[in-house]
Amino acid sequence: NCFDDLKKFPPFEDEWLRGGPVTRWIPQGLAGQPAYVFETGGTTGTPKSRVNIRDFRTDYEEFSATLPEEHFPKGANWLMLGPSGPRRLRLSIEHLAQYRGGISFCIDLDPRWVIKLIQKGWMEHLEAYKEHCIDQAITILESGHDIRCMFTTPKLLEALALALEKRGSTIRQAGITGIFSGGTEFTPQWTRFAVEELLDGAYMTPTYGNTLMGLAASRPVVPADGYTIAYYAPQPRAVIELVDFDDTNSVVPYGGTGRVKLTTLTKETFVPGFLERDEGERERPYVEYPWDGVSGVRPFHKLATATTVGVY
């Protein structure tokens, strides 16, 4: 009868998402419709997967409304400087570009290989692979495709800006006016560095999301607020709560630190009480997002030593 009734379900275990058949996750009312399968992780063992029919399109169509047109003009082409392969993100950026009247250009990037390079300590190979990815991006930007918008991660954005600087150019001079980015590498310190040293006036909006959640937008990041980055889940499709580390049914007070607990409620996907591998601080509602948010997102401290961030 109400949201609190979801506590009657046991916590959703991410291990349930490993292996098949993936069709077991498709509701009977949607059986037979064309479906996509998106994977997450997969560095070791069987990757976790989620079946999508239309969810990824809906998520990014709703997110599109949050992008300021002066920086993300309708009809503009996009560069997807992020992971390729069996990931929701690549197809989602492609749909976002198409939905806004543009075309998405993608590079080839395997984050599973990146993580293996890090785990093996092959830093020389890691640097070479990063350069390979950035070279692909610069080739696209210099090929006359009139690209104005971009998705990338903080690490790749920094690498691209530094590579362009060596060529006597900048992100803005390469034609980019709007960037949306995501990853736990976002900190107030890095964001200030990006604004002051990397972007050359290009607009950037941080996001937080994954295959299960969809995409959480951020309120404007401004110097007056210490470059604090606060994310707000796409309610009512997904709800984020900051819960006590020991009692995951108890929400922490505003400003308190807790573990991110996700509930996804769409026609395609029901995920009650999924404990993310992230923690952060509970933020008050914002005028455009009148529900709780989360700031300071970072790996959950009890798992942090086992977490390899990779390209994110």
**For residue 80, is pLDDT > 80?**
yes
Please report, for the chain, the start and end positions of each structural domain, with discontinuous segments joined by +.
3-306
Contact 39, 22 (CB under 8 A): no
Judged by DSSP in three states, 170 sits in: coil
pLDDT in tens, 176-214: 999 999 876 788 999 999 999 999 999 999 999 888 888
pLDDT in tens, 125-172: 999 999 999 999 999 999 999 999 999 999 999 999 999 999 999 999
Rounded alpha-carbon distances, angstroms, from residue 43 to 60, 115, 309:
27, 7, 12
- Average pLDDT score, the chain: 92
Q: List, in sequence order, the alpha helices (H) in 7-122.
A: 55-64, 88-99, 111-120
Stretch (H or E) spanning 241: strand 238-243
Superfamily of domain 3-306 in the CATH hierarchy: ANL, N-terminal domain (3.40.50.12780)
**So what's the pLDDT on residue 311?**
62
**For residue 16, is pLDDT > 80?**
yes
